[in-house]
Chains A and B, each alone.
Chain A
């Protein structure tokens, strides 16, 4: 029973602010966030999802398409995906997508995946570090009407129309078998994502979406017009396709802010009371005195 078929895959990725490295200088004096101090990065677990898809491709063949929804600058994560060897990338960008919560986001992604069409597996990271919700994967699976396998750690086997996946939780593991197509959300422990290939980096560093043409023309004025640049890039497979709400044929009432049931009522900064602290010298006398004090106050028994 050796399967000779190949598998077409879609990987959903997101560009996020690097919230894990919020240092004190990323917070302003008034307690607000200094966003410019937070670099935009490839969501870490989405890199694990991408790696898992590329490994499946290496083992079984098939195509890998990477999709992201975001502002024009999100094209950067698509170039990062091209540097790692994927076949095709697509940017979903439209003002109508803005302000989407997880339900509206998953609807948009569902429309894009259905437009791509022929797919066997959808991969995404378990969660994105800017929201930590872990909702978009399951909600996209539901909208597509396919099963979901969350917390996926490894693809154990793929044969015919069935996949065997190991899931990993903080408190255990589970081995599941599922009919294709299905969606996997991938955990950080799944693999070590490969670095970008130097050769691909050279090959694709000029890859751009139409939304970037204007700023590119400022650098390369020899092209003169966006049309000329478009023709040049398209001929060299360097044009990153842009899909808008109209391209997706989406129901606009389900997109962006309009399609989002949840609304942010307010945002507070975490304010903590400061404490008067006692300085303890970092030498054996200082430490011994501290220990005596803790014992006396019954803090250490």
Chain B
């Protein structure tokens, strides 16, 4: 099947809800398929999840491979990897995409190792293009450019996988834009077929049992926040970080943080902005005590307005700031809070 140009997307679902990132990847898959000419195929695993197949089609799949089995009710590496790897071996897709979620990052490497394919983690962009191999000087047409931050987010690397297909990648959540569902796309029409797969497992696939699990909704929504107040190492203490939270609250915004602030334990990792955290584009971004490592700036430089507060007048964050305040966070933030309260009177 040398001419197979199919693009597969692993459809991540939990308790009957499809992960956002899977819908984002279906949209990206459609875009890639326009260049490549293959089909977009969603691999949907779970138990009693057949109803979701239609949603997968509405969001861009031409075909849904539905593996519905009691052993797939809760995500576990081995049974899921068995289903995915068996199908890959049989049908040889050209590209296979996963969300870079805890599940995607657990499953994709296992599958890639099983089928001996290349895998690139945490991509922030995917494109199609040609590549001349340094190894064999051959030209490979229409490869998947797997673009990702490297070296702690200080560099951007483009990775290719010329021969050991499928070309597999996990893709960062929130960087691709999903399509609005198109309900005209339906099952059993030319646009959208649901194909049921009957998986089989052996005892080794079932070596791990889930005893209990608890999930919580994220309290943090950086991606859609119109205003973000973010703190860095320069905030200096957990106590001072409360000032960041107070200001964010007053502005009706969300709390962000640099990696240094997260590493220092001022705030949880969900708040991390940057190439190694979440990429944001709010209306207003206030960077307090953030010096502005390149990986942080790359994750927030598209904000409409940036206010930076730093004691170091040469901090790199000022290069992209619209408003530059040279001063101590512990003094400047209370002034901002006071000015806001004055305005509200």
A286 to B146, CA, bound (A): 46
A107 to B17, CA, bound (A): 36
| Chain A residues positioned under 8 Å from B309 (CB to CB) | 282
Contacting pair A33 B151 (CB below 8 A):
yes
Contacting pair B270 A20 (CB below 8 A):
no
Q: A172-B214, A176-B208 are in contact. Are A282 and B163 (CB under 8 A)?
A: no
Contacting pair B118 A261 (CB below 8 A):
yes
Measured CB to CB, the nearest residue on chain B to A297 is B305
Contacting pair B121 A177 (CB below 8 A):
no
Contact residue among A143, A174, A288 (Cβ-Cβ distance under 8 Å from B213): A174
Measured CB to CB, the nearest residue on chain A to B227 is A300
Measured CB to CB, the nearest residue on chain A to B100 is A134
A93 within 8 A of B: no
Contact residue among B122, B154, B160, B338 (Cβ-Cβ distance under 8 Å from A262): B160
Contacting pair B156 A270 (CB below 8 A):
yes
Contacting pair B340 A291 (CB below 8 A):
yes
Question: What mask results when residues 184 to 208 of chain B are scored 1 for a CB within 8 Å of chain A, else 0?
Answer: 0000000000000000000010011
Contact residue among A142, A151, A268 (Cβ-Cβ distance under 8 Å from B110): A142
Residues 252-289 (chain B) with a chain A CB within 8 angstroms: 252, 259-260, 263, 269-270, 275-276, 283-284
> Least Cβ distance of A297 to chain B in Å?
8
> Least Cβ distance of B263 to chain A in Å?
7
A149 to B106, CA, bound (A): 9
Question: What mask results when residues 215 to 233 of chain B are scored 1 for a CB within 8 Å of chain A, else 0?
Answer: 1111000000001000000
Contacting pair A148 B320 (CB below 8 A):
no
> Least Cβ distance of A190 to chain B in Å?
14
Contacting pair B164 A261 (CB below 8 A):
yes
Q: A147-B77, A299-B304 are in contact. Are A22 and B110 (CB under 8 A)?
A: no
Dominant secondary structure at the A interface: mixed
In order of increasing CB-CB distance, the 9 nearest A-B pairs are A19-B152, A282-B327, A261-B118, A261-B164, A172-B215, A133-B121, A142-B113, A138-B109, A135-B109
Interface size class of B (residues with CB under 8 A): 35 or more
Contacting pair B319 A272 (CB below 8 A):
yes
| Chain A residues positioned under 8 Å from B214 (CB to CB) | 172-174
A288 to B283, CA, bound (A): 19
Question: What mask results when residues 145 to 160 of chain A are scored 1 for a CB within 8 Å of chain B, else 0?
Answer: 1011111000000000
Residues of chain A having any CB pair with chain B under 8 Å: 17, 19-20, 22-24, 27, 33, 101-103, 106, 129-139, 141-143, 145, 147-151, 164, 169-179, 182, 257, 260-270, 272-275, 277-284, 286-288, 290-292, 294-295, 297, 299-301
Q: Spot the interface stretch: B39-47, B55-63, B86-94, B131-139.
A: B131-139
> Least Cβ distance of B299 to chain A in Å?
10
Question: What mask results when residues 153 to 179 of chain B are scored 1 for a CB within 8 Å of chain A, else 0?
Answer: 111111111111000000000000000
| Chain A residues positioned under 8 Å from B251 (CB to CB) | 300
Contacting pair B110 A294 (CB below 8 A):
no
Interface centre among A135, A136, A260, A295 (most CB of B within 10 A): A135
Interface centre among B153, B293, B318 (most CB of A within 10 A): B293
A135 to B207, CA, bound (A): 21
Interface centre among A130, A132, A290 (most CB of B within 10 A): A132
Contact residue among A131, A172, A261, A263 (Cβ-Cβ distance under 8 Å from B116): A261
